[in-house]
Structure formats: C-alpha cells, structure tokens
Amino acid sequence: MALTVNKLMVVGAGQMGSGIAQVAAEAGLKVYLNDISEEYVNRGIANITKILSKNVAKGRITEAEKDEILARITPSTSLSDASSCDMAVEAATENMEIKTQIFKNLDAALPTDAILASNTSSLPITELGAVTNRPDRVIGMHFMNPVPVMKLVEIIRGLATSDEVYDTVHALAERMGKVGVLVNDFPGFVSNRILLPMINEAIYCVYEGVATPEAIDEVMKLGMNHPMGPLTLADFIGLDTCLAIMEVLHEGLGDSKYRPCPLLRKYVKAGWLGKKTGRGFYVYE
C-alpha cells in the first residue's frame, strides 16, 4: 500500500536537485532544498524562480501561485533538517563516495520509517541501501533532465526494497505529473545503459575525425528526429556526469565496449564540463 509523502528533503541543489524540488513543491509537498553551502542552495532557488517566472509570463500560473510554490521550499545546509521529513531524494554529484556518505548521514537524521531515494544516473541502489540500517526503504528515483519537462521517472528497486516503498514512490512520481517505469538494479539501469554508449560513440566520432560536433548533431537531429544532437545533449547533461556513468558501465558490466572515449576524459580533466562551466563540445555565453 502506498504511503503519502508530505515533507521531502532534496540533497544537492544543482540542475537536477533544483528541478526535483520545483516539481515536488508544485505538487504541494513541503521541501527542504539542501546543499553544502548557502551559495549553492540560493543558486538552485534562483533557477526555480526563473522558471516559475517564465510560467507566470506564459500565463500558466499566477504570481500568487508562484509565491505559494516558492514558499513551500526551505533552504537547508544541514542534513539534520531531515529529522522532520517523510522522505529524502539525494541528487548530489555522481560519485559513490559522496553518495555513500550522504546516505549514512541521512539514515542517521531521518525518522526510522522514512524513505531514502537516490536520483543517481547509474550507481548501485542495493549498495547504497547496504550502508544504511533501512535497505528495505531505499530506492532509486531517477528523474530526467530537464526535470520540469521530461515525463519519465525510472524507479529502481534494490535487492531489499519493499513493495510499500515502491508503491509510495510510484504514486509520488504520478503526483508530480510523471510516469514511473520500474527497472531492476543493474549498472546504468535502462536509460543510461542505452543513452550513454550512443553519446560516447558520438564523442569517438569527434575523436577519430569522422565529422565535426555540429555535423554529428545535425545527422542525429535531422536523420533520427532526436530533439538534441548527442554532443549538445552531453554538454547539457554535464561531461563529468557522462564520464562517471561510462565508468560505472565499464566497471560494472566488465565489457570493453563501454570504455569511455579518451577525448571525454581529456575534456573533464580540462574542466570543460559542458553547459554548466560554459564550455564542452560547444562554447556557451
């Protein structure tokens, strides 16, 4: 049976965390948006405000509704704020050490029956569950970018995830206007097991001089009707996140077909992380 979630903590106020906080607040939940520093939380809230203001300008919501949504979001820089929450969704950097530490801290802070979800793109939910004292209440809730626009939430059951937790997260996704799709806990799940090798192959095409980034993107947009070419999409996701996902696929599935392209590694080492740093395969103003 599904439980009702009223108060949610979102950990990580980057592009995904701020999107998740927005759709949760739009669905009527009270939300703590948490990050390491106040500056990052404020940046996340500024992004949400910008998108809501656009929705006001488009006549989709009123100024008063915008204010009500924003009033449901409370900034947080302390995980102890989770003590009053029914659930937390972790959306911090795609790194197992960082996520493991957050899961341990959230496990200590949340009420014992609260649900602990991760928005990870690829990392093992079962392993995250195992560092807590509540593996039955740990689950993957994988939103797509940009969160307010994309319909899918991939729901990943760990080995120990209970039916009650799955039902609750599925119902919560629906309440947020999304469609939940159940998948099992394998590296990259379904979405990124299929998407990221395509992006990596597009990067190999640049690396091997098959064509320019612009030409590769045009081929996939005009030839396959993709809304964004794979290199524009890689820049949009973040090249650090793309590399982290390829590493998980490579190590987790043990097949050389998942080896990350050396050019992807080089860009990440250079700090060219895509749109978020102003430079990736393209330059952003």
Ligand X SMILES: NC(=O)C1=CN([C@@H]2O[C@H](COP(=O)(O)OP(=O)(O)OC[C@H]3O[C@@H](n4cnc5c(N)ncnc54)[C@H](OP(=O)(O)O)[C@@H]3O)[C@@H](O)[C@H]2O)C=CC1
Ligand Y SMILES: CC(=O)CC(=O)SCCNC(=O)CCNC(=O)[C@H](O)C(C)(C)COP(=O)(O)OP(=O)(O)OC[C@H]1O[C@@H](n2cnc3c(N)ncnc32)[C@H](O)[C@@H]1OP(=O)(O)O
- Tell me which residues are annotated as active site: 121, 142, 154, 192
Residues annotated as binding site for NAD(+)?
12-17, 35, 94, 99, 121, 145, 276
CB of 160 closer than 8 Å to CB of 121: no
As given in the structure block, the two tokens for residue 156 are: 């990943």
- Compare residues 94 and 107 and give the one whose CB is closer to ligand X: 94
Is 195 among the residues that bind ligand X (CB under 6 A)?
no
Near ligand X by CB under 6 A: residue from 102, 115, 169, 243: 102
Query: For residue 135, is the peptide bond before it cis, meaning its omega torsion is within 30 degrees of 0?
Result: no
CA 33, 84, 91: angle at the middle one, nearest 5? Answer: 30
Distance CA 116, CA 156 (A): 12
Binding site for ligand Y (CB under 6 A): 51, 54, 121, 144-146, 148-150, 191-192, 195, 227-228, 233, 237
CB of 155 closer than 8 Å to CB of 88: no
- Compare residues 61 and 232 and give the one whose CB is closer to ligand X: 232
CA 227, 229, 234: angle at the middle one, nearest 5? Answer: 110
- Compare residues 54 and 266 and give the one whose CB is closer to ligand Y: 54
Site for ligand X in 62-91 (CB under 6 A): 91
Distance CA 97, CA 254 (A): 21
Site for ligand X in 217-246 (CB under 6 A): 237-238, 241
From ligand Y, ligand X, none, interface partner of 233 (C-beta below 5 to 8 A by class):
ligand Y
DSSP code of residue 225: -
Query: Where on the chain is the footprint of ligand X (CB under 6 A)?
Result: 11-17, 34-36, 40, 91-94, 98, 102, 119-121, 142-145, 237-238, 241, 276
